[in-house]
Each structure stands twice: as C-alpha cells, then as structure tokens.
Chains A and B, each alone.
Chain A
C-alpha cells in the first residue's frame, strides 16, 4: 500500500514541534543522526527527553533516506525533571567540584580561587 509522508503532525509533544519542521531541517542540512536533529530543531529537549519523540525523529531520518542507524538519542542527566530546590538541598556536600572553571583556575594563576580538582572516578562515556 502507498505510504504517504504525513507532514502535518506534531512530532515533539513536549514543545509542539511539527513533523514538517523536522523534515525540512533534515533535508536542508543533510542531517544523519537523531542527535543532530535534536540540536538543530530542539525536538527531544523537553521533559520527556526523547522517550516519546525519539522514534519519530528516527522515522524522519529514515524517510529522508539515511542508511545507517540514526539513533538512539544521546542520554544525559537528569532522566526525569528535578526541582532546583531539591538539587540545591544537596549542594552543601563535599561534592566535587569545589569551584568553577576559568582560565585563571585552569592555569593555576589565581590564588584564593577554589582549586579545581577532579579525580577520575571511572571511565568517561
């Protein structure tokens, strides 16, 4: 049966981003991965973090003719919404880092700035 690309449909529920916009971005920029689509259109940046729309971004890329598997979306914390007050309530711990990054800190040129110490905790992904 004929499969017609239905462009008039919301693809990112969280932010109301439409399929037409996604398909246009893919075509205009020659996008090949879900992450590229996410960065350029913002789809997948809402509270569902791509859990719902990820497959639809994949469909867009496959419909555009991408051959290599375009997904999945890269995952970063937070996996779920977390209130800033809740995050802040844990900030007093002896958690790293002790301060912010700046040229002065990176080059150790500034006395009195919290020294940035980050011991490796494990493999980085």
Chain B
C-alpha cells in the first residue's frame, strides 16, 4: 500500500479533525476506518451533539474554551453547514440543597475564564417557558450550544480530502509494526501501510488495538443510546441538562427533540453490534417529561445506539503510546469528546509536527495512569 507520513486510525469526529489539521499543514495523511462512517454503531454516530464548556473536569475546561473559539469560525473554515447553534446551555437543579455545590462549580469555571453564571428558576423559565416549576435554579452558559455530529464529521472528512488526505474505508488497522521502537507501518488486511507516525483515534475499538500492541491503557467500551422525536415547532433554544438525572435535551433545526443523557444500550463491542434497550427509552422519556411536562404528547420516532470509549478517570487519553515512538493515542473521550474535537484536531496535529505534546494536551497523556498505578 502507498506509504503516508502519518496514518490516522479512525474516521470519527476525532480522527477526521486530526486528519484535516494535518493535511491543511501539508502533511501526507492517510485516514483509515474499519467501516464506512457515518454508518455503523460509532460514538460519533450516537453523540448527542452537545458543544459545551461547562461541567467539565480539570484540564478539559481549557481545551473546551479553545474548542469553542474554533467552533465560532468552523462552518466558514470547513465551508459546510454543520447546524452549529450557540444559544446557551442550562444545567438545572430541582433541589435547593444542591445550590452550594452548583455555585462552587460556577465559581471554579468562571475563574477558568468561562462565561457561566447562576440563574434562578424563574430566569430559566423566561428562556424556556415550558420548564417544570420544580426547577429552582441552574448554571447557564451563553456560549454553549450544539451541532450535528454526523454533518460535522463529514465536513472534517471532506475538508481533509480537499487538502490531500487519503481516506480509506473498510480498512481496519489490525496491528502496528516497528523497528527499534519506532513505528514503521500500520498493518491492515490489505497489507502494511508504511508511515512514520500513527494516531489511534479508533474510539471503542482502540482498547483492543492497544492490547494487541502490548500497550494496554485503562479504556473500556460502553454503549450509549439516543432517541429523537417528531419535528415540533421550534421552542427550545438552549440545551438542557439536569443534575442527578440522565438527560441532555435539545431541539435541532428540523424541530425534532434529540434526547441523550448517557442511558445505555447493549451489545457486543467486538462486532460493533449494539441494541436499543426499552428501559433506556422509558427512563430517558420520563426524565424529559419531568423536565418539560408539555412534551408528554410528543412522540419518539427513532432510537439509536453507538459504542464509545470510556477512560478510568473520565478524561480523554491523548498522548504518546508508551513503547512506541511515533504512535499517539487519542481516545477515551468518555461521552464528552464531540465539543472538544476541533481543538483536539488542532493540538494533536501541532504536537505531531512539533514533535512534542502541546501545553493544552499534556495533562491528558497516558503516562498519568502509570503514575497512579491504575490498571486496565
């Protein structure tokens, strides 16, 4: 197979964003995927599409702030309509006992540079008139929003191709080859593809590949489920969350309500198989109706599932793979990677070109697990 400078394994939102940035910088990139996105039960296909900065732990906040700065110009840059809407996000509470912890999160995030503030229940009901009277307050961030994950992934892939990236579908990376500790090639069923660097951005398929190359990291697959309703008149502008309840609720351009929140599906990650669970449909619907009672008469038209990769500490794993010069991992986004993708793409590309991890990415390095002795 024709050699490349850099191989990116995985054409989901992370892989395509990285490939785009590398190709734009003139790097000869080959972007490989085991299937043909967006089809398949992938994380990018089952993302709720939230583009938020608030409610992120530790070093994710700084990365998210950088990401939103890129999101603001992304559609112009990629020459694509990815349905990016920035009408804010409210994370609600229905229990006044939670006010203090909510305030302390808000304080921490403001100190980190985020435009988030406390809003009263009535403030929130002015923005969302149908919001349940049970909501007493919430954290509101003006610059949070949402976008379409499938369109965004497609847009990055298209732009990467336009800058010269090669995209190979139905071409899984099944192994890495090295000489003297330096990556020489990736191995695919069609044979080896020589390269001098590789990024493993294969989502829930990354752990198996890491095991294969003897570089096991604490990343596990998990199956997440989504559902969406019939299109309704546009009434809900901000994205809604609710502390203590699994919900991420938004209304997209078509008017459909898209419902996430981390409810599980079930299946076999190795075969990429995933099934919808009725309990998850019911329970997420119950949360929606608890948050906005007027939505009780709105029907669900479809449900879908996808496999995501979750890390042991709920933070992405981004950095050099121990024992492999020239190999990086960018996985374990734990259900909150979509918003970060434009920044991850920019920073990983820069790290590869500069030969060292950028400041924004260093806290996510896999070496943190060796230090803490966390095993897979």
Range for the number of chain A residues in contact with chain B: 35 or more
Please measure, in the bound complex, the distance between the C-alpha atom of A57 and the C-alpha atom of B278, giving whole angstroms: 28
Task: Please determine whether A84 and B285 come into contact, CB atoms closer than 8 angstroms.
Answer: yes
Is A3 on the interface with B (CB-CB < 8 A)?
no
In chain A, positions 12-50 with a C-beta closer than 8 Å to chain B are 15, 31-33, 35-36, 39-40, 45-47, 49
Shortest 5 CB-CB distances between A and B: which pairs? A85-B296, A87-B285, A100-B262, A103-B314, A95-B279
Q: Is A51 an interface position by the 8 A CB rule?
A: no
Determine which of B38, B224, B279, B300 lies in contact with A84 in the assembled complex, contact meaning CB atoms within 8 Å.
B300
State the CA gap A46–B302 with chains docked (Å): 8
Identify which of B110-118, B303-311, B348-356 touches chain A.
B303-311
Q: A76-B304, A97-B263 are in contact. Are A107 and B220 (CB under 8 A)?
A: yes
Q: Does B312 contact A (CB under 8 A)?
A: yes
A84 and B154 alpha carbons, distance in the complex (Å): 31
- Count of B interface residues, CB-CB < 8 Å: 57
**Sample of 11 A–B contacts (CB below 8 Å):** A35-B39, A45-B228, A78-B301, A81-B299, A83-B298, A83-B300, A91-B286, A95-B282, A96-B277, A97-B264, A99-B246
Confirm or deny: A1 has a beta carbon within 8 angstroms of a beta carbon on chain B. no
Taking CB atoms and an 8 Å cut-off, the chain B residues in 265-292 that contact chain A are: 266-268, 273-283, 285-286, 288-290
Q: Is B335 an interface residue (CB 8 A)?
A: yes
Judged by a CB distance under 8 angstroms, whether A67 is at the interface is no
Q: Which of B229-284 contact A (CB under 8 A)?
A: 229-230, 246, 254, 261-264, 266-268, 273-283
Residue of B264, B268, B273, B276 near A76 (CB, 8 A) is B276
